Structure 1
Amino acid sequence: MSAPGRSAQDGPVRPALAPLLPAADIADATEAFHRAAPSARRWDVESSIAWEVADAGRLTDGQASAVQFITLIEDHLPGYIGVYERAFPLNEDVDLDTFLHNRELYHFTIRWGFEEDTHARALFRYQVASGLADPVSLRRELAMEGRKPFELPHDHAVSLLAYALVQEKATQIYYQQLRAVVGDPVLADVLGYLARDEARHFAFLADVVERYLRVYGDAVVEPIREVVANFRMPLADTIRGYWRWALRIADTARYDHTDAYGHLIRIVNHAVDARTDRVDELVRFVDACRSTTAGAAS
């Protein structure tokens, strides 16, 4: 799931601004990501879930609404992939070093896209198998949203990756908390698989952002700060009634994207040995954003 969409008049995302990590760093992070998903732990929509006993009648109205909401978010994957294709292009218009970086990142992106598309398919299948929706109507509903443009208001490579880091961790946390309260064990199984994938996606992004901080230090502090200052979840500007719906799903199972900020602070603390004023300010700022939201919610 990803900050508010750039409006149509802003135009398409440009190739991501430097600095870029050395291709070898991206390759190391990508290899670690793939090693973290051995074939024995992989799952698929067709054979890993007992769809025949799925029953939406065991869900509360709030839980059913949450499933409908996250299906819309996950199904917008072509829009998310499009952002990365434009930000990290693989064509003759980029110099060789940039192509090397982007090609190594693509080894993650293509696997991430496959897994996120599996999430969308699993949630679609659950809605149909459980009686929550009929397939024809659900496809049309998803297509209505899927046709809407999606962009991110970030230009730097590290901004795009830091945004995805916060979003993936926030999504993982919500899926875990929703899983703990849902009434249908089949949906609980689906959410368990989704949360496990999101945790691995976060681990990759945390590795990459940590490498950025180690290599570039103060030079990447402001792009990361910008992500936190302006963060909103994907499709916040396109789904009709988004905020009302988001509040409802948060009532069903606690959801607050700032729950992910503590993980970002740990990444910064782990990456930076010699703290600078700019890094200290970033940590204070992220912590203040988290504390402000927590105080407002209490």
Structure 2
Amino acid sequence: MTTTVPRAVAEPAGQAAGPLLPPADLAQAVGSFMRSSPVTRRWDVETAFSWSSVDGGRLTEGQRSAVAFITYIEDHLPGYFGLYARRFPLDESVDVATFVHNRELYHFTVRWAQEEDSHARALFEYQVAAGISEPDRLRDELGQEGRKPFTMPHEHAISLFAYALVHEKATQIYYQSLRSVVDEPVLMDVLGRLSKDEARHFTFFADVVERSLRLYGDQVVEPIRDVIAGFRMPLADTLRGYWRWALKIADTAHYDHTDAYEHLIRVVNRAVDARTDRVDELARFVAACRTPAAAGQAS
């Protein structure tokens, strides 16, 4: 996991800048996402896991710390959802065409939020069942962080989608990596389910980014490049002790978030048939931003 000096971010006001996908294209991406998780494949926190059989004694100190860390990340869901509400408003501040786009996106956003909220609740329940924390204390600790604002400096809609693409894939990779070193069955089950959800979320954002590149080409290259140039995982600027903690949990699961960059490069390569200098430069730039270890594993 790489480190960067924290910086303050200012969020642009109002509707995210275009170009926006035509609503029909966005609706197709949303429909594909919805079909990827029919009712028969969904899960709920109360019945999906055997909370009474959790054996926290099988966790290492590093694994316990990792569970606590990812609980903070997932529990900040109201901040993430609020960002989308601000940048894709559904009111008279936007024209009808933009509203229709935002309304299609909202179909995804509410399902995404529900699933991410289930992640937060599952990790909360696991911490309590494993003896990592106590309910009242954990609620207060999560509240201290959760009330802090979540903002992003990106102006363009495609930037927000590209950021989410990388973040969702990086989270999926981490959950898979952590699961591979854990020897506690219930946590393995939790991480497996969370990883599958994050993979589906990644697929949606990859679909949107790919459609945008196919339709707009060079127009969306620079906003995507800006995401990688300043990429930081959520809460990097607000969570107390984030960088030391992030390095610790990365060592626990042998994880590097720049592993996710390779998946963005694949989306770019799939989307663009007639390559341009700007697209080629984007692919080279993203590859160059990977850490040496991550890049070596992919070669």
TM-score by length of 1: 0.95
2:121 matched residue in structure 1: 121
Q: Does the aligned pair in 2 maintain the 1:4–1:232 contact within 8 Å?
A: no
2:229 matched residue in structure 1: 229
Shift of 1:11: 5.7
Q: Does the aligned pair in 2 maintain the 1:6–1:152 contact within 8 Å?
A: no
Q: How does 1:173-188 map to 2 (within 5 A)?
A: 173-188=173-188
1:36 matched residue in structure 2: 36
* Local SS of the residue matching 1:104: helix
* Local SS of the residue matching 1:239: coil
Deviations 1:152-211 (A, max 9, x none): 111100000000000000000000010111121100000000000000000000000000
1:274 matched residue in structure 2: 274
1:145 matched residue in structure 2: 145
Q: Which amino acid in the other structure matches residue 160 of structure 2?
A: L
Q: Does the aligned pair in 2 maintain the 1:115–1:197 contact within 8 Å?
A: yes
* Local SS of the residue matching 1:46: helix
Q: Does the aligned pair in 1 maintain the 2:11–2:153 contact within 8 Å?
A: no
Q: Which amino acid in the other structure matches residue 160 of structure 1?
A: L
2:172 matched residue in structure 1: 172
Deviations 1:236-293 (A, max 9, x none): 0111110000000001002211101111111111100000000000011111112546
| Distance across 2 between alignment mates of 1:252 and 1:13 | 39
Q: Does the aligned pair in 1 maintain the 2:12–2:155 contact within 8 Å?
A: no
Q: Does the aligned pair in 1 maintain the 2:80–2:150 contact within 8 Å?
A: yes
| Distance across 1 between alignment mates of 2:26 and 2:139 | 36
Deviations 1:48-97 (A, max 9, x none): 10100112111000000000000001000001111100000000110011
Q: Does the aligned pair in 1 maintain the 2:11–2:154 contact within 8 Å?
A: no
Q: Give the alignment's Cα RMSD to 1 decimal.
A: 1.8
Q: Which amino acid in the other structure matches residue 170 of structure 1?
A: A
Shift of 1:14: 2.7
Matched, 1:196 2:192: no
2:89 matched residue in structure 1: 89
Q: How does 1:1-298 map to 2 (within 5 A)?
A: 7=8, 10=10, 13-290=13-290, 292=292, 294=294
Q: Which runs of 5+ in 1 are unaligned?
A: none
Q: Does the aligned pair in 1 maintain the 2:14–2:89 contact within 8 Å?
A: no
* Local SS of the residue matching 1:133: coil
Q: Does the aligned pair in 1 maintain the 2:74–2:120 contact within 8 Å?
A: yes
Q: Which amino acid in the other structure matches residue 278 of structure 2?
A: R
Deviations 1:16-62 (A, max 9, x none): 00110100011000000000002221111010101001121110000
| Distance across 2 between alignment mates of 1:26 and 1:49 | 34
Shift of 1:124: 0.1
Q: Does the aligned pair in 2 maintain the 1:4–1:152 contact within 8 Å?
A: no
TM-score by length of 2: 0.95
Shift of 1:132: 1.3
Percentage identity across paired residues of the two chains? 68
Q: Which runs of 5+ in 2 are unaligned?
A: none
Which range moves more in the overlay, 282-291 or 263-272? 282-291
